[in-house]
Amino acid sequence: MISSELNAAGVRDPELREAYGRCRAINAQHGRTFFLATRLLAPDQRPAVHALYGFARHADDILDDFDGASTKDRARRLDDLGTDLFQRLVKNECSGDDPTLTAVVHAARRYGIDWQLFDDFLRSMRMDLTVTDYADRAALNRYMYGSAEVIGLQMLPVLGTVGPRAEAAPYAAGLGKAFQLTNFLRDIDEDLELGRVYLPADELSAYDVDRDVLEWCHTNRRTDQRVRRALVEQHAITRRVYAYAQRGIGMLEPRSRPCITAALTLYSEILDRIEAIEFAVFSQRATVGTGRRLAVATSGLAGAWRARLFDRRP
Angle between helix axes 165-186 and 137-144 (nearest 10 degrees) is 110
| Cβ burial, residue 298 (10 Å; 0-12/13-18/19+) | exposed
**CATH 1.10.600.10 in the chain, residue ranges:** 1-113, 131-313
CATH number of 131-313: 1.10.600.10
pLDDT tens per residue across span 171-183:
999 999 999 999 9
Judge whether residue 23 has pLDDT over 80. Answer: yes
1-113: in CATH 3.40.50.300? no
Q: What pLDDT, on the 0 to 100 scale, is given for residue 43? A: 93
Q: What pLDDT, on the 0 to 100 scale, is given for residue 314? A: 45
Judge whether residue 252 has pLDDT over 80. Answer: yes
Residue 147 near residue 180, CB atoms below 8 Å: yes
| Cβ burial, residue 195 (10 Å; 0-12/13-18/19+) | exposed
pLDDT tens per residue across span 185-223:
999 999 999 999 999 999 999 999 999 999 999 999 999
- Average pLDDT value for the chain: 90
With pLDDT > 70 as the criterion, what percentage of the chain qualifies? Answer: 90
Q: What pLDDT, on the 0 to 100 scale, is given for residue 38? A: 86
Q: What is the pTM of this model?
A: 0.90
Interval 77-99 mean pLDDT: 88
Interval 280-295 mean pLDDT: 82
The residues, ordered by sequence, that sit 6+ positions from 18 with a Cβ below 8 Å of its Cβ are 99
